[in-house]
Structure 1
């Protein structure tokens, strides 16, 4: 039997002495990271946590799910219900798991039970627990024990979290309002009638994890006992989270017949049959019914996971998950002919996800013609978030084994495990199958997990399952190797996973992204003039922005604020007679109330602009927009600020944004230079950056002292520089950055060393990748030569060049230059202003001094 494994799938992680930012790290094996203690919450810690998560799943999975979870408001991430036994038996592990989430900026709403502890205390008090229909009868004595136990367990969890550097807030009352469930029958047991969100929202807003008990109150203030599962469900109905997580000792729902853990339940497809199973009874049946009723009232994107505490990260951040995932989903539909697709437009939309069709190598109509002449079976959910097509017999196939010809999934299909449901359905129908995947496919580990064996060649991987006969496997591999007899690489076929076999002599690897996915926006949609207020105009960036606005056909300065220059005439602005003012928070609020300003620009030092932003936002029906040139909001996780690097971020998001964070100068050049290589990087790129002394600002220091800089080069902040963190965050890949200051005034030069897979790319191929990626970008120039810093000074762009590959063919060196005051600050700010206000993106930017190749 021939068997292949992707490196890293079989993990044995040892994280001793991983980072000095950890006060305690316990050895972890496999997928479990058992106990990690954090001293404080900062970006360095977050970055380390993300690296740890990358050892649980692939980097793609971790980034995908982090982006998914941070796409909603913080209180909509997850409701986590913790069984009482977990606090007693697995408190360190529970606290560690919650700390992981907290340190990547996620705020789950945590609600815990305390059933086992109550029983123990009641036994010590000589009170026999009484249950009716599975509900604990709660008399006065029992309620006294219940309340005491809840407070004790709540404090235990909060204290454990605080020791790990997690801000946690105990919320033991004031959330659940209830009536008596049946006072005569159950006594002090409640039925929740409403949820007060305020304490939870206030906790999260203040940066604290909310830790709740399931105690409820009547309007008169009487405490009532409520089942923790029921309370968690009511919280979920109120907050509509993406995830509802039940932590228990079993780690999921166990199939009573096979003894195996059920990985996923698609309620729309399986609910009725599931309830008919003989082993689904008592508590299991009740839980499935409650979850079914709960999810009927939530968006289809919501799901319930029943898992063990050790598997929390794996469940949240990997495609495979860990426990039992329950979601509404859709019923799966099988079709054997094109006529069975009721909505041809829906089918066309699904097929357009195919890379070969997207690239124009194959049309939808041509592929549909192929299907007409084939015996096939398709699998899909109702909205065709996932579409799989298995060709059973095809005139071009010489091997009598069905081929998984297409497996097309949207992002939601991957995130919601529809892909697993579809593949499981295929396996029920076909006991043998093969398929081909491009070696650069981001979901490669998933395909490996579904196969029994694989064979790799020419940038493609052949997978199969259910084939035990070595002669058949050899024939399949031979056919794949030849690339013709089975038409596996024939362009007439779909090949969603494959691209044609490379026939060039030097390289057999297909290249990643070609066309620019985010083309420039040039045409203006706004023909009206707009007024700008510039707060903090004394610095070099402010002065350059004033010059740019002076030449802009539609922008006018209305206010320019500087404490040091208050009362002086603004120089270099010819449209109007402007005098510097020293605007305070109260002044800004009044100006905003008068609707005088369309765009506020904050050109202030780091850590200063927050009061001014809050003053603008405090005005009801505020219509203006804000751009911040400092680093204050470049690491925003609320989703309120858009990172304004037009060449790499979504231009449509910048257009629609109310608040824009302008990138840093070093960070702009570094990201532009590294971004196209992300699919090929094998380790941490190193950036040796040198800036002119204008980058040190106007405040006197050795870094802008001309005498000290003469014939000198000053290294500084050689680790953890703010721009190192900024680049790492927005590239989604850790970089190492070493900044220096030189004796020239303005301009930056980066020399960047990037580790790549040995023999994967030539210098010419790399240059082509960059040229195609930045095609149409007027402010980015790709050069075959290494750019020099003197040529960039006073120019409004970035130049990337050199593209030198070492003799071992495993390292690429790139040189990038940028003017730190222009494209590194003022020019980029004007780009963002133009996009946000509906002008042409390059309006006001002198094209005669744009760098050109």
Structure 2
């Protein structure tokens, strides 16, 4: 799915309730940057709808987040970063934390033996002294960490929870909450501070009592009635004891009774589900509970798929096989009136209802019919004829529940969607395949090759009806989505050979913004050997004042260019090419500064992912081997592709018209791909004799590859102990029996016959042979015995063709030089 938010969206969000009334507004650039970063985890539609949803209520009603004390001890920086994201888009969660398992260690150090009755800690005066000290220390640690990164936070350690003794003789200083005083929490939020609470309570006489943090979070939720109640824990959700998999969604009204009968739902799991059920019964139906890992907080809040376990009341789903089974005809009419064809007057509700009386159908809907789906069973392949949802239906994922119910009943299905439908990416995610014709897209799942061929033949002859449409009344699903056809394989390689040689020999000046990383270092080396390019400026906050190493054409000193500096350089015409070598989500203010200069002549190359999903037409995707070189050469702004994404697209593109399914990519990169900032992915000791998987779904490169190729791929990245170089092993499902291994290799040799930076090998290439080289090697081409899939291996140096070399190709094209000026053509292949 596409992962960008438009300027219009940012402006709309800027005018929403993004800051507390009495604080200075968060800067536009900060908000824009945070929103861009959010788009690395969710689609434009998702991020827009959830931001709009969360800012639709008073700030204290956004969320209550319960944090385990162990998270503050072990994942403090991750927690602070996640809360900062929310703060910088004007969302103020109420954060409550426990003391964590470390309390037992502290008690032992004080000579206190922990005691429990019925799982409740006996809290005598000595224990309370240690518990209080631990609470205050943990609270201060979190508040301090937030303040260090620019988030105003207010410690609230007492005065919120009133309590009586739970059982003074049995548990001593353990409390049962009897009241919640909201005033200090509301005052903190109104002043622009995140409230950070402990779960200490007080009796009317002022005696401190220890209360369970989960219980305290529930009492806060009952008082504030937030949209979200979030429990952060190490497991990241509820685990199905039979399968070992994380439970994604629980709809209590539909599943609660059956869920409690499951053999694995027992002990603490059963108690947790019961407590959440009781809590949600007293809250608005819009409220939900999320149990997640701290690293997945944004993904859970801002994407449809979520990351942990989402628990909500939901509605029971109702199936109906006749019009008589709809008890409320007005409710049915209201649902059908969402259909754009009915809205436009193409046909009436009454005529459609009369049509349903003549066919076999099965309908699916929740109780209030926020979502209505109608499946026609008359055809060989059942057809989803209507899929109509309100904004509420999309927002609360009722659409997913309905589609899952349909999939249980129908092993195969087809449906047709207009190519301008704003929820196109969602339909792609539900399908095994698709075919495009004259503005409409045919989707299907559960069909074999022969059935697909027959279905497409019917679609071509227009014998299987018109488009269904999901409702657009929400006003937030209005982005154009990537289109794809069943048979497309565009390439523009040989159309403009003069671009290869180039005609310009004039000197050009390059400015690098953010030049301290590995990619920047390699680009500096390439420019140093380029006959016409010179570096005029390098900007790095960390290296300011130091001499640029590895550059021999002049004495260049690192500076720390600000937005005003960049604008002035552009006004004076001091720079011909700006290269943004910055982390994702950071370069927009610099790009905007260049754009503000009306007569500016420079070109911009962005090495981050910020503009790879641009839908405005202002940015061109700079992969010369697959995209029109003329278009790249004329573009003012060029988005440099990602390293994994470059190799994957080059490996898959020649077979696009033969693909029948979702390609899977197993990628392994050297640790230079993790950058220079210390992390587990570039920790040499951790990587020794090791392989680290990460971001196994929805990685930014997975979305990049899918959006550029026009269909879904599945990408699983890993990092290994070598320094640079990537190996991709790619499994591509193809139409059965259509191609042999030799034929596939011939297709690739013909496709890339004119490309100096792409080598086709009969053997699977080795990553150690590509390290330090400037091209891509494609090889292997192994077809299985069933002749319905091919495995291709692609290797690329992530720092060169995956970044710096490709950047230089784009600079050369943009300045009229030969495309390969300054690039050694040195790919060496075994065999």
Calculate the TM-score normalised by the size of structure 1. 0.54
Displacement, 1:757? 10
2:108 aligned partner: 123
Q: Structure 1 residue 811: deviation in Å?
A: 11
1:473 is aligned to 2:455: no
State whether residues 249 and 311 of structure 2, in contact with CA within 8 Å, keep that contact through their aligned partners in structure 1: yes
Shift of 1:390: 1.2
- Does residue 1:142 correspond to 2:115, yes or no? no
Equivalent in the alignment of 1:256: 241
Shift of 1:110: 0.5
| Counterpart pick for 1:330 among 311, 315, 333 | 315
1:463 to 430, 438, 443: 443
Q: 1:63 to 1:754 in 2, by over 3 A?
A: closer
Aligned residue in 1 for 2:213: 228
Deviation at 1:215, TM superposition (A): 0.4
Indicate the residue corresponding to 2:462 in structure 1. 484
- Any idea what the Cα deviations from partners look like across 1:478-517, whole Å, max 9, x if unmatched? 322x1413x233xxxx62269xxxxxxxxxxxxxx9xxx9
Q: Deviation at 1:385?
A: 0.8
1:239 is aligned, of 218, 224, 243, to 224
Q: SS of the counterpart of 2:338?
A: coil
SS at match of 1:241: coil
Tell me which residue corresponds to 1:369: 354
Summarize the alignment of residues 589-668 of structure 1 with structure 2, pairs less than 5 Å apart.
Answer: none
CA-CA distance at 1:739 after TM superposition: 6.1
Report if aligned partners of 1:680, 1:756 keep a CA contact under 8 Å in 2.
Answer: no
Matched, 1:496 2:475: no
Which residue, 184, 187, 191 being the options, matches 2:176?
Answer: 191
How far 1:440 moved relative to its partner?
2.6
Q: Aligned to 1:291, which of 273, 276, 285?
A: 276
Contact preservation (8 Å) 1:87, 1:94: yes
Report the counterpart of residue 48 of structure 1 in structure 2: 33
1:417-460 per-residue CA deviation (whole Å, 9 max, x = no partner) reads 21121112112111111222223323222222222222333333
Aligned to 1:626: none
Q: Is the 8 A contact 1:681 1:755 kept in 2?
A: no
Q: Residues of 2 paired with 1:297 and 1:315: CA distance?
A: 23
Partners in 1 of 2:397 and 2:633 — Cα distance? 36
CA distance in 2, matches of 1:149, 1:808: 62
State the distance in 2 between where 1:326 and 1:84 align. Answer: 23
Q: Contact between 1:247 and 1:309, CA under 8 Å: does it hold in 2?
A: yes
Using the alignment, how far apart are the partners of 2:311 and 2:137 within structure 1? 32
* 1:549 alignment counterpart: none
Question: Distance in 2 between the 1:100 and 1:303 partners?
Answer: 21
Residue from 240, 248, 253 that aligns with 1:268:
253
Equivalent residues of 2:292, 2:309 under 8 A apart: yes
Question: What displacement does 1:392 show?
Answer: 1.4
> Structure 2 vs 1, CA of residues 811 and 149 (structure 1 numbering), >3 Å: closer, same or farther?
same
Q: Which residue is equivalent to 2:389? A: 409
Tell me the distance in 2 between the aligned counterparts of 1:214 and 1:386.
40
Distance 1:188-1:429 versus aligned 2 partners, 3 A rule: same
- CA separation in 2, counterparts of 1:8 and 1:224? 47
1:438-837 aligned at under 5 Å gives the runs 438-467=418-447, 469-480=448-459, 482-485=460-463, 487-489=464-466, 495-496=468-469, 679=480, 755=617
Classify 1:463/1:119 alpha carbon distance in 2 versus 1 (closer, same or farther; 3 Å).
farther
Q: Does residue 214 in structure 1 map to residue 199 in structure 2?
A: yes
Query: Aligned in 2, Cα 1:128/1:483: closer, same or farther, shift over 3 Å?
Result: farther
Looking at structure 1, the residues matched to 53 and 616 of structure 2 have their Cα atoms a distance apart, in angstroms, of 28
The gaps in structure 1 that reach 5 residues or longer are 1-5, 10-38, 499-512, 519-649, 651-674, 683-713, 717-733, 743-752, 759-806, 814-853
Deviations 1:788-846 (A, max 9, x none): xxxxxxxxxxxxxxxxxxx9799999xxxxxxxxxxxxxxxxxxxxxxxxxxxxxxxxx
Aligned to 2:156: 171
1:19-61 per-residue CA deviation (whole Å, 9 max, x = no partner) reads: xxxxxxxxxxxxxxxxxxxx99422111011011112111121
- Residues 1:251 and 1:457: Cα distance change in structure 2 (over 3 Å): farther
Cα 1:40/1:364, change in 2 over 3 Å: closer
State the 1:370 CA deviation. 1.8
Deviation track 1:312-371 (CA, whole Å, cap 9, x = no partner) reads 111111111111111111111110000000000100111111121122222111211221
- What is the CA deviation profile of residues 578-615 of structure 1, one whole-angstrom value per residue up to 9, with x for unaligned ones? xxxxxxxxxxxxxxxxxxxxxxxxxxxxxxxxxxxxxx
Q: Distance in 2 between matches of 1:58 and 1:117?
A: 39
Task: Please give the secondary structure, in 1, of the residue aligned with 2:361.
Answer: strand
CA distance in 1, matches of 2:381, 2:186: 56
Say if 2:168 and 2:174, in contact at 8 Å, map to a contact too.
yes
The 1:132–1:452 alpha-carbon spacing in structure 2 relative to 1, beyond 3 Å, is farther
**How far off is 1:298 after superposition?**
0.6
- SS state of the match for residue 123, structure 1? helix
Cα-to-partner distance string for 1:739-780 (whole Å, 9 max, x where unaligned): 6899xxxxxxxxxx962799xxxxxxxxxxxxxxxxxxxxxx
Q: Distance in 2 between matches of 1:756 and 1:737?
A: 14
1:60 corresponds to:
45
Q: Which runs of 5+ in 2 are unaligned?
A: 5-23, 484-569, 573-590, 600-614, 621-629, 637-831
Structure 1 SS opposite 2:188:
helix
Q: Which residue of 1 aligns with 2:146?
A: 161
Query: TM-score, normalized by length of structure 2?
Result: 0.55
Where 2:368 maps in the other structure, the secondary structure is coil
Does the CA-based 8 Å contact 1:757-1:810 persist in structure 2?
no
- Matched pairs, number: 492
1:420 paired residue number: 400
